[in-house]
Structure 1
Amino acid sequence: MSKTVLLVDDDAMVRHALGQTLELDGLTTILAGSYIEAKDHIVPDLDGVILSDIRMPGKDGFALLAQAQAVDPELPVILLTGEGDIPTAVRGINEGAFDFLEKPCDPASLLAVVGRALRTRALVLENRALKARAETGDAAARLLIGESTLAEDLRNTVRAAAHAQAEVLICGEPGSGTSKVAEVVHLLSGDATRAFIKLSASGLAADALEAAFSRAEGGTLFLDEVAALEGSTQYLLLDLLDRTSKTRVLAGTYRDLEVEVGAGRFNPDLFYKLDVLRIRIPALRERKDDIPVLFRHYVSIASEQAALTPPEIEHDVIAQLMAQDWPGNARALMNAAMRFAMGLGLADVEGGASDARPGLAEQLAQVERSLLIEALRRHRGGATAAARELQLPRKTFYDKLARHQIRPETYRH
């Protein structure tokens, strides 16, 4: 999580005591005795939270709260109020404070509320980083999300295929995103401003195929699950490909077309015509390192669409997600994220875990791997800072990275 707390209190003794409690818990504390002293520390994308007394000489805690919201509406502000002054605290919540604590507050309550605020802030900043990368990158970076080596390899393959201007066979399990990959190929190609027509090959009639070719002329036609084409329609598609060079065809399939050809269910000439370039989308179980970032991305989108505050995603949630096989791939993970954003948690989420559940050792390894990756992500690939957060000696930390085949540079962004 983020580690900085801006602590504002005009009482030096209280400020020292609270600061000491926070620092003993490993938090970096910035101490300020007034609104004026604190104001310059409140900046957009502050990697931390604010803990402020309400009653202070000059501008009070409510003025500080208003300033924080003006600078960054999602910056958590925790207000400190006098014992029994609940109406004042309620006013603070109504005006946008994250939470409040009554003075004198016991260390456990202080650390619990501050910890929750820091986790919320870390999620906000991570979502902002994702959006920033999405807005500045090309279509592959914006739409094909993931930080694993396999995800980067996929993006590079898609970029190469986009510029080749040839037919492409896109292979991936159900829910893996063949349609999304096809869209990215089109967006990165030279005809990105022209038509992009998506069509399901299942039950596709001949006249519908010809009409699609006509609408996609000069652009791209994506045929989803091309193995489902009827025999006569396969011959028509082959004929259309032979007769026109103005429409680029991308074909998606979760079946092995070579097996389909061998079984006599798919036209071999059509297969070779489509299989000029091939893109294989790795299954989600092959790139589990991408599960945390994908899940957070989907939760953020679902929460934004429903006008909800994104829920906290604890380490045990990520560990549960990574322990599953996800036969439904990204689509299943997206559905799980939508339910989670709606407050259902994981108890009501069917994530597709295998029947043979992993043993204790494997589950512990998955949790350890998740914690290592999360720490690296929070510190943008900084191994020293991540090791310090996890309270691990440097050598032990690097030994664990090597054991789990984790590369810190993957998370530098």
Structure 2
Amino acid sequence: MTRQVLLVDDDASVREALGQTLELADLEPILAGSYIVAKDHVAREFEGVVVTDIRMPGKDGFALLDFVRSVDPDLPVILLTGEGDVPMAVRAISNGAFDFLEKPCAPKVFLSVVRRALTARDLVLENRRLKRELAAGDAAARLLRGTSAQSEELRRRVRLVGRAGAEVLVSGPPGSGTSKVAEVIHLVSSASQHPFVKRSAAALTPDGLAEAVAAAGAGTLFLDEVSALDPSAQLTLLDWLDSGGEARVIAGTYRDLQALVDAGRFSADLAMRLEVLRVDIPPLDERKEDIGPLFRHYVALACEQAALPEPDITPDVVARLMAQDWPGNARSLMNAAMRFAMGLTDPAPEQEMGLNDQLAQVERTLLVAALERAGGRAVQAAEMLKLPRKTFYDKLARHGLRAEDYRHD
């Protein structure tokens, strides 16, 4: 998603120059030449930040700052100051401005401040989302979907771990949703009203780790793929944990930390600290019965976001989804659901088949047709196909079919 920056300046040349700087940085400028034009873009749901000149005809940048804060006090406003405006800008910081920049401003400095403001905005919006989800009820039941015994055990474990308050290691294969599980642990914990900060461990320096911990405050810091944490950052994290820091640390990984410890590539002490509590996410192939409910959920979400009518998801589609391997786990299933919702592809495309596979597909098609004609009445469908009941039920099981899915009433 391209990030937006509301850029307000009555000087067209400054506006255009800074707008080009933003575009070259893959940001989307919204250009406004006055308070009146700018205020129409300000909303509590605005996902970007505001950059405004102080001195403008009519209502100035301070008036815009006041208006923004009345709409959303957490929406960052960066002030552009002339040489004589610096003292005023400094005072404005105490009134809630995010930062100020003196004109003319070097592009590198300008973009650095804008990106810091965008990061701050992301954190605010993410925590608002988490609080809304928490207020809606049981976060584990709502966000960790699935009807299998494995999914129910995962939800039970997450609730238990969430209340415990110690460090957690969330382990699961790629695409299984370690980040989502970490969010839910945070939501069901006593720290749910505090920030949830997510960082990629591979990108963290010791200084970056310290900043992330500070941002988490009394909340939760989630380190995605902690096995990639730099050795120096590992030491920093271990020191911080040993000091009894305020934030709770949840680490996610798809790798065997003990194997990395044995190979001398990960701190044994840190691994021991992170595995005080552990949550293992089962791969999708071990809980096939979750595929149908998850796929329907993902399709519904995609259709809601794109304002599209929901397509029909037939039992045949679900059966073919269940017959597939999903090495990418929930992420791959979500991608398939999005393509299906947009009408772009079959979520379970049929590949070139050999004779045995073709015969199995024909058998499956006949079984489905009989069930549809019989309205899901298994005994009647078996009679249509002139099959003994046991043989009929065996074939249904082999193809992942359920007679009740074809009932009309």
Coarse TM-score class (shorter-chain normalised): 0.5 to 0.7
Counterpart Cα distance in 2 of 1:363 and 1:398: 14
Shift in alpha-carbon separation, 1:339–1:264, aligned structure 2, 3 A: same
Counterpart in the other structure of 1:200: 200
Deviation per CA, 1:131-184: give whole Å up to 9, x if none. Answer: xxx997510111001111111111111111111111110001111000000000
Counterpart Cα distance in 2 of 1:344 and 1:387: 34
Counterpart Cα distance in 1 of 2:237 and 2:254: 19
Shift in alpha-carbon separation, 1:271–1:341, aligned structure 2, 3 A: same
For 2:203, give the aligned amino acid: G
Ranges of 4+ aligned residues in structure 1 off by more than 2 Å: 134-137, 355-364, 385-393, 395-404
For 2:197, give the aligned amino acid: I
For 2:264, give the aligned amino acid: G
Counterpart Cα distance in 2 of 1:367 and 1:219: 52
Counterpart in the other structure of 2:148: 148
Counterpart Cα distance in 1 of 2:193 and 2:353: 48
User: Secondary structure in 2 aligned to 1:311?
Assistant: coil
Could you tell me whether the CA contact under 8 Å between 2:382 and 2:392 is conserved in 1?
Answer: no
Counterpart in the other structure of 1:336: 336
For 2:325, give the aligned amino acid: D
For 2:188, give the aligned amino acid: L
For the pair 1:247 / 2:247, whether they are aligned, the reply is: yes
Deviation per CA, 1:71-98: give whole Å up to 9, x if none. Answer: xxxxxxxxxxxxxxxxxxxxxxxxxxxx
Structure 2 unaligned spans of 5+: 1-133, 384-388
For 1:240, give the aligned amino acid: W
- Segment drifting more, 318-327 vs 142-151: 318-327
Offset of 1:274 from its aligned partner?
A: 0.2
User: Secondary structure in 2 aligned to 1:170?
Assistant: strand
For residues 255-404 of structure 1, the aligned pairs below 5 Å read 255-346=255-346, 360=357, 391=381
Could you tell me whether the CA contact under 8 Å between 1:197 and 1:212 is conserved in 2?
Answer: yes
Q: Please, what is the CA RMSD of the aligned residues?
A: 3.9
Shift in alpha-carbon separation, 1:403–1:197, aligned structure 2, 3 A: same
Deviation per CA, 1:306-347: give whole Å up to 9, x if none. Answer: 111111112332222112111111111111111111112317
Counterpart Cα distance in 1 of 2:135 and 2:337: 22
Could you tell me whether the CA contact under 8 Å between 1:336 and 1:350 is conserved in 2?
Answer: no
Could you tell me whether the CA contact under 8 Å between 1:213 and 1:221 is conserved in 2?
Answer: yes
For 1:275, give the aligned amino acid: E
Shift in alpha-carbon separation, 1:219–1:335, aligned structure 2, 3 A: same
Q: Identity percentage over the alignment?
A: 50
Counterpart in the other structure of 2:185: 185
Q: How many residues align?
A: 259
For residues 226-237 of structure 1, the aligned pairs below 5 Å read 226-237=226-237
Shift in alpha-carbon separation, 1:318–1:234, aligned structure 2, 3 A: same
Structure 1 unaligned spans of 5+: 1-133, 376-384
Could you tell me whether the CA contact under 8 Å between 1:162 and 1:188 is conserved in 2?
Answer: yes
Counterpart in the other structure of 1:222: 222
Counterpart Cα distance in 1 of 2:244 and 2:380: 60
Shift in alpha-carbon separation, 1:222–1:350, aligned structure 2, 3 A: farther
Offset of 1:264 from its aligned partner?
A: 0.7
For residues 106-185 of structure 1, the aligned pairs below 5 Å read 137-185=137-185
Could you tell me whether the CA contact under 8 Å between 1:135 and 1:142 is conserved in 2?
Answer: no
Shift in alpha-carbon separation, 1:138–1:328, aligned structure 2, 3 A: same
Offset of 1:300 from its aligned partner?
A: 0.8
Could you tell me whether the CA contact under 8 Å between 1:205 and 1:233 is conserved in 2?
Answer: yes
For 2:239, give the aligned amino acid: D
Deviation per CA, 1:28-69: give whole Å up to 9, x if none. Answer: xxxxxxxxxxxxxxxxxxxxxxxxxxxxxxxxxxxxxxxxxx
Shift in alpha-carbon separation, 1:269–1:361, aligned structure 2, 3 A: farther
Counterpart in the other structure of 1:80: none
Could you tell me whether the CA contact under 8 Å between 1:172 and 1:281 is conserved in 2?
Answer: yes
For the pair 1:209 / 2:213, whether they are aligned, the reply is: no
Offset of 1:246 from its aligned partner?
A: 1.5
Offset of 1:232 from its aligned partner?
A: 0.9
Counterpart Cα distance in 2 of 1:301 and 1:390: 37
For 2:303, give the aligned amino acid: S
User: Secondary structure in 2 aligned to 1:202?
Assistant: helix
Counterpart in the other structure of 1:84: none
For 1:241, give the aligned amino acid: L
Could you tell me whether the CA contact under 8 Å between 1:162 and 1:189 is conserved in 2?
Answer: yes
User: Secondary structure in 1 aligned to 2:161?
Assistant: helix
Counterpart Cα distance in 2 of 1:295 and 1:390: 30
Shift in alpha-carbon separation, 1:168–1:401, aligned structure 2, 3 A: farther
User: Secondary structure in 1 aligned to 2:212?
Assistant: helix
Shift in alpha-carbon separation, 1:277–1:342, aligned structure 2, 3 A: same
